[in-house]
């Protein structure tokens, strides 16, 4: 409808990234994690790291076989490694718990539908902790321009504005990443023509006089250098205490600069949601959790509940900006270029087609051999959720990262459209049946 323009979408995405999404991550992680769960649920991070490494490896292989550029390889990596770890798996286990097929997921005779749903949600949220940590660190870095690409784009725009190199030769900019439009090129060509032609009303005498005047100014400002005798006299003086103080100051400045550089590198690696996730880990694994999450605590109603309520706005805002971007693409006249659809197809192939054939054997092996080392290997809900989480579609909040960073925006929109609008329903149905079949045939056998 034109209500959310591109500027408003970017502002809303940045607000969501800086405030609402950190609130969501903090409330989910801090309320879920604890020392007891970390010890009892140790297979969950093991599963996540295994699935992430396999999908990362498959993404590298498929993207190289497809002949993608290094930029699009990063896009395929992000879409393949980071799946939906919240909304869709929770909806699946909640629906399975109240269905007739949910009886297969009962752990023992005393189990119930409420316990099945509660365990499934608990496993999903704990799995999402590690997904969010990696997504907002490594994934955030994948979906942004590198320093070399930013420098190349800056140089390209600078050359497009100047119109010629230092030696006076023209620059030809290819229509690709960071290039100008044809209209802008024509305008710049006109400006270049005007820049080359001197004013016919100015005579050669005027130009010569200006050149001579410039030469005189250059001669007037030539620097003077000290004589060797003066330099030797200065070097013969002994070191004064003030020089020692200057050396100590220079050392302290050097240490300060090193600390500042290290802090800048860490900050470049971090993101606001990642800061919130680490803060949530500190709260969840220390006595601070009782101070914030105890019902009788003063901070629970005024601070903890406020953070939770702010976090609930994160997903609706992501869907709002996603819908606005899809509307803009649907009303535009141009169609997707083949170079744009190739990475989208590669990512869908890895995430939705190949991964189920890898996740199933890993899960079956854990069912057969994992009962000796973990009680979770005997829980049907855990096995089903690991299959669903390993094959879930690409995370929706990746579109938020691309919009804030201003890169891969249209590719990510088409990726999510084809994933959730076309491929998700049949593939997720098959994945759920696969998980239930593993529980029914392998575990009960």
pLDDT tens-digit readout, 262-313? 887 777 778 888 899 999 999 999 999 999 999 888 899 999 999 999 999 9
344 pLDDT above the threshold of 90: yes
Q: Please, what is the average pLDDT of the chain?
A: 79
pLDDT value, residue 108: 84
Max distance between CA atoms of the chain, in angstroms, equals: 105
The reply to whether 439 falls in a domain is yes
The CATH number assigned to the domain holding 403 equals 1.20.1530
* Integer CA distances (angstroms), 89 to 177, 362, 364, in order: 37, 19, 20
248 pLDDT above the threshold of 90: no
Q: Is the dihedral of CA 290, 291, 297, 299 positive or negative?
A: negative
pLDDT value, residue 127: 94
346: containing domain? 6-149+270-443
The reply to whether 19 falls in a domain is yes
pLDDT value, residue 247: 63
223 pLDDT above the threshold of 50: no
Cβ distance 416 to 396 under 8 Å? yes
Per DSSP, the three-state class of 164 is strand
The reply to whether 316 falls in a domain is yes
pLDDT value, residue 239: 52
pLDDT value, residue 189: 45
Q: Of 263-272, 330-339, 355-364, 434-443, which one has max mean pLDDT? A: 355-364
Does 358 or 332 have the greater pLDDT score? 358
Does 197 or 328 have the greater pLDDT score? 328
Give 327's pLDDT tier (boundaries 50, 70, 90): confident
DSSP-based helix, strand, coil % in the chain, nearest 5: 75, 0, 20
Total of domains in the chain: 1
- In the predicted model, what is the mean pLDDT of residues 305-330? 86
Residue the block writes with tokens 């609130």: 23
pLDDT value, residue 169: 43
- In the predicted model, what is the mean pLDDT of residues 425-436? 93
The reply to whether 260 falls in a domain is no
Give 44's pLDDT tier (boundaries 50, 70, 90): very high
Single out the residue of 4, 25, 36, 43 nearest to residue 379, CA to CA: 43
203 pLDDT above the threshold of 70: no
Q: Of 31-35, 54-58, 104-108, which one has max mean pLDDT? A: 54-58
The reply to whether 189 falls in a domain is no
Phi, psi dihedrals of residue 166, rounded to the nearest 5°:
-60, -30
The reply to whether 296 falls in a domain is yes
Give the span between the Cα atoms of 307 and 276, in whole angstroms: 11
180 pLDDT above the threshold of 60: no
The reply to whether 365 falls in a domain is yes
pLDDT value, residue 319: 85
Does 64 or 249 have the greater pLDDT score? 64
Give the span between the Cα atoms of 92 and 444, in whole angstroms: 22
The reply to whether 50 falls in a domain is yes
Cβ distance 72 to 340 under 8 Å? no
Give 243's pLDDT tier (boundaries 50, 70, 90): low
Question: Which two three-digit tokens encode residue 65?
Answer: 């076989």
Lowest mean pLDDT among 132-141, 183-192, 337-346: 183-192
Lowest mean pLDDT among 174-188, 210-224, 303-317, 392-406: 174-188
């Amino acid at each position: 409808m034109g209500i959310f323009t591109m500027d408003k979408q970017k502002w809303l995405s940045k607000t969501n990234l800086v405030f609402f999404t950190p609130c969501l991550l903090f409330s989910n992680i801090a309320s879920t994690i604890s020392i007891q769960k970390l010890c009892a649920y140790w297979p969950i991070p093991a599963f996540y790291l295994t699935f992430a490494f396999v999908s990362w490896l498959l993404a590298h292989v498929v993207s190289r076989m497809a002949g993608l550029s290094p930029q699009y390889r990063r896009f395929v990596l992000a879409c393949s490694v980071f799946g939906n770890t919240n909304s869709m798996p929770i909806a699946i286990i909640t629906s399975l718990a109240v269905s007739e097929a949910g009886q297969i997921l009962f752990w023992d005779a005393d189990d119930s539908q409420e316990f099945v749903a509660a365990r499934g949600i608990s496993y999903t949220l704990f799995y999402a902790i590690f997904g969010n940590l990696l997504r907002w660190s490594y994934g955030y870095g994948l979906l942004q321009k590198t320093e070399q690409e930013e420098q190349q784009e800056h140089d390209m725009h600078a050359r497009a504005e100047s119109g010629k190199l230092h030696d006076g030769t023209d620059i030809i900019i290819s229509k690709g990443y960071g290039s100008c439009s044809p209209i802008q090129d024509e305008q710049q060509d006109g400006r270049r023509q005007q820049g080359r032609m001197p004013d016919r009303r100015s005579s050669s005498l005027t130009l010569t006089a200006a050149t001579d005047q410039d030469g005189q100014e250059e001669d007037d400002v030539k620097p003077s250098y000290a004589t060797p005798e003066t330099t030797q006299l200065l070097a013969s003086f002994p070191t004064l205490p003030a020089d020692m103080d200057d050396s100590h100051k220079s050392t302290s400045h050097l240490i300060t600069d090193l600390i500042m550089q290290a802090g800048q590198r860490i900050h470049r690696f971090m993101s606001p949601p990642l800061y919130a996730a680490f803060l949530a880990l500190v709260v969840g694994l220390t006595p601070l959790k009782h101070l914030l999450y105890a019902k009788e605590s003063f901070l629970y109603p005024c601070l903890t509940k406020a953070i939770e309520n702010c976090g609930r706005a994160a997903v609706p805002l992501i869907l709002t900006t996603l819908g606005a971007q899809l509307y803009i693409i649907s009303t535009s006249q141009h169609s997707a270029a083949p170079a744009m659809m190739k990475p989208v197809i590669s990512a869908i192939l890895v995430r939705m087609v190949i991964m189920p054939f890898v996740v199933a054997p890993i899960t079956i092996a854990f069912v057969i051999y994992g009962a000796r080392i973990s009680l979770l290997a005997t829980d049907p809900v855990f096995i089903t959720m690991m299959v669903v989480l390993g094959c879930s579609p690409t995370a929706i909040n990746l579109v938020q990262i691309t919009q804030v960073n201003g890169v891969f925006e249209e590719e990510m929109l088409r990726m999510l459209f084809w994933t959730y609008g076309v491929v998700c329903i049949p593939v997720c149905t098959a994945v759920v049946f696969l998980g239930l079949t593993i529980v029914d045939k392998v575990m009960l056998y």
